[in-house]
Structure 1
């Protein structure tokens, strides 16, 4: 045991009337919603990188967090960081966690050293998992921070960097498999370009497609039953990211024949950077059966950057879970808090309060989404709006041609009048639940 979270009791459900700042007011893990417990629906995960590895720096200032495991440059402190992580998982009753390899252990400067320390720390984490309730939602490789990745990983013009990336992902997949992970994520932090003057885009895309095919092949070779996920992410940090948004990723996966093997891990902050809402990105993925998992956070809408704050907008969250529930739920995916404290929130209790508040917001959103679905108001409105397409004549038109349709319009005097989309009425309806 460490002393980092001394005197902080386990967070429990105390109901909406509680004034305890470290209690769940809405998230009751055992409460049944639409046939499953809230814990089964939401599948919360703590992000190792923001919660434990991030030191509180920004482009204009250095670290503000002084943790006992800083600096993160040796394996002794890496193990202390793991000890603290599992204490926090217990305080929050968190069912899952997620990691990048460099979150768990310091970079050794060469592949052999990186692999050895990754195996050492995952063995240590595995012993902690033996007596903990918290499981691994997913692992991934950090192929964006070190200078070797400055021109990309799978898309790098240097084949040796491609080889280093492939070896790194293999090691991370092995570690994820060993720890019982339920997904593996490809997080393309620098898979894009800064200028087209030095970029062969077609070749880079082909290399990225081949890389992902290798990942899928290796998944089957080792018998990994989890999902392979890719994460759309625009403008971070390259001028143009190849995995810009959900629609772009779906098109990419189809081009390389991977649409039945790979799904999407969607993040609210990335949706905003792409000029979308999180609800939109989830709806796009659900429409194609490609939703895998979500990273729950929020952006500061004034900053224009991916600020990764904890969620606090119930209506926004509710509409996201509405589409998730409508599509059948998160499956093997989960709700990962890819969110970090503000630089001024330096106390250990801030880390607990941030997660507890985020879990409560998601619980409120989930319950509102379930109530909307059970009421059926939006579904009724959609059915009514598209009812014309249920007629035999309308269905046959889709199998017709332009000439036949023109003849019908002329012969029948088709001259449609506009009909209201009733947007404000529907927004008012949603507000009854949130």
Structure 2
């Protein structure tokens, strides 16, 4: 028995239902744009916030206690896995995600720690086979332990670099063993606090080499999924090297990794970087490095990563629209990198949070799909750039001189044209 054993599987009951443990918008078998909602959304529950988070914050002690948070560490890890897969059953989600330290405890030294990770990986494989739930992606925690206080790949101590390499190798091995669709590199402390003690170029070169080693290893073991980087602008490090989508693309181009590495983008991180979520998705699509999404929101009144469940479809609609314009999700998915609030201490609160978040994602996706099907945005955008289709236009000259000469020869000066922003905002609001 687990905390969730007595709960039935949540089902779609339609927009009129008053059942708080039913889906109003998420009908997994509904076909939209040629695929079911289950195939489009590829929903995933994260291990860390859902089963590790205890409600502690910088100003207060833990408020959330779960049965697997005490006792012999490996037995607790298996109990945690039992509870996790029971929750996946309740929510009827196809995927989950984890850090290595979420699923298995640290041991006495590196070798023991890696053995723990592999052992729990075997247990997760059994759970996957019995349930049909698959792994969206795995990653390694290279930020929580004090050894990583100055970074992992970027650490000034080469012993930490080597420890991190062994940790990532094992996490990638387990992800591969479990059929993971992707592997994420989350650089929680890859950055610096002050340049007074930092060799910035050395650290960037170390991070580039580390990622190159991971990509080479991925190919050698036959891991078919992409490596994903998750941009984050700040917190805990003041100057993160993976600030946003554009910054990461520049990094990947510099080290020749742009063909092997894509992005896992998070709404909360986009906000902290001073961007909208749809901006980050559009940039990733423009550079051909879009991979996956974390759909936790932030609080615009707070300047840190609050990791809240989505509660407003309008905040996601345009991001999903940009996602669909780029072809939608392939190996990626929608991961709930979100945690219940410190006062939400009951296990059922975790279920309500996911049910609400899943419904919001489905509602937003259906609005985005209607925008695509109706062409309400694509048509005006195409019309706005129609002049570039003229084969003899002045701007198509091969040299600056040719463009300038053709422009000078034109008798008519260009006239401003409306961008129709308010009209298009209304189209979105009415979708």
Please state which band the TM-score falls in when normalised by the shorter chain.
over 0.9
Q: Which moved more, 1:320-329 or 1:147-156?
A: 320-329
TM superposition shift of 1:73: 6.4
Distance 2:85 2:272 in 1: 32
Secondary structure in structure 2 of the residue aligned to 1:264: strand
Instruction: Indicate the residue corresponding to 1:377 in structure 2.
Output: 376
- Aligned pairs for 1:54-73 within 5 A: 54-71=53-70
* Runs of 4+ with deviation above 4 angstroms: none
Instruction: Indicate the residue corresponding to 2:402 in structure 1.
Output: 404
Q: 1:413 to 1:63 in 2, by over 3 A?
A: same
Q: Which moved more, 1:318-327 or 1:24-33?
A: 318-327
Instruction: Indicate the residue corresponding to 2:24 in structure 1.
Output: 25
Q: Which moved more, 1:65-74 or 1:232-241?
A: 65-74
Which of 419, 426, 430 is the aligned partner of 1:428? 426
TM superposition shift of 1:71: 3.4
TM superposition shift of 1:7: 3.1
TM superposition shift of 1:129: 1.3
Secondary structure in structure 2 of the residue aligned to 1:418: coil
Instruction: Indicate the residue corresponding to 1:142 in structure 2.
Output: 141
2:322 matched to 1:323? yes
Distance 1:109 1:383 in 2: 61
Instruction: Indicate the residue corresponding to 1:90 in structure 2.
Output: 89
TM superposition shift of 1:225: 1.0
2:336 matched to 1:333? no
How high is the TM-score relative to the length of structure 1? 0.97
| Contact 1:26–1:363 (Cα < 8 Å) also in 2 | yes
- Aligned pairs for 1:2-401 within 5 A: 2=2, 4-71=3-70, 74-394=73-393, 397-401=395-399
TM superposition shift of 1:6: 4.4
TM superposition shift of 1:331: 0.2
Distance 2:104 2:404 in 1: 67
| Contact 2:99–2:141 (Cα < 8 Å) also in 1 | yes
Distance 1:336 1:39 in 2: 13
Q: Which runs of 5+ in 2 are unaligned?
A: none
| Contact 2:5–2:86 (Cα < 8 Å) also in 1 | no
Q: Deviations over 1:287-342 (max 9, x none)?
A: 12211111111001101111000011211211111111111111011000000000
Distance 1:297 1:420 in 2: 35
TM superposition shift of 1:414: 4.6
TM superposition shift of 1:227: 1.3
Secondary structure in structure 1 of the residue aligned to 2:45: strand
Distance 1:389 1:130 in 2: 53
Q: 1:73 to 1:207 in 2, by over 3 A?
A: farther
Distance 2:224 2:330 in 1: 13
| Contact 1:89–1:134 (Cα < 8 Å) also in 2 | yes
Distance 2:77 2:190 in 1: 28
Distance 2:383 2:167 in 1: 52
Distance 1:226 1:181 in 2: 7
Secondary structure in structure 2 of the residue aligned to 1:235: coil
Distance 2:72 2:35 in 1: 43
How high is the TM-score relative to the length of structure 2? 0.98
Distance 1:145 1:72 in 2: 21
Secondary structure in structure 2 of the residue aligned to 1:257: coil
Q: Which runs of 5+ in 1 are unaligned?
A: none
Distance 1:398 1:409 in 2: 11
Distance 1:330 1:73 in 2: 40
Distance 2:156 2:108 in 1: 21
| Contact 1:73–1:106 (Cα < 8 Å) also in 2 | no
Secondary structure in structure 1 of the residue aligned to 2:293: strand
Q: Deviations over 1:21-50 (max 9, x none)?
A: 000000011000100000000000000000
Alignment length (residue pairs): 431
Root-mean-square deviation (CA, aligned residues, Å) is: 1.2
| Contact 1:138–1:181 (Cα < 8 Å) also in 2 | yes
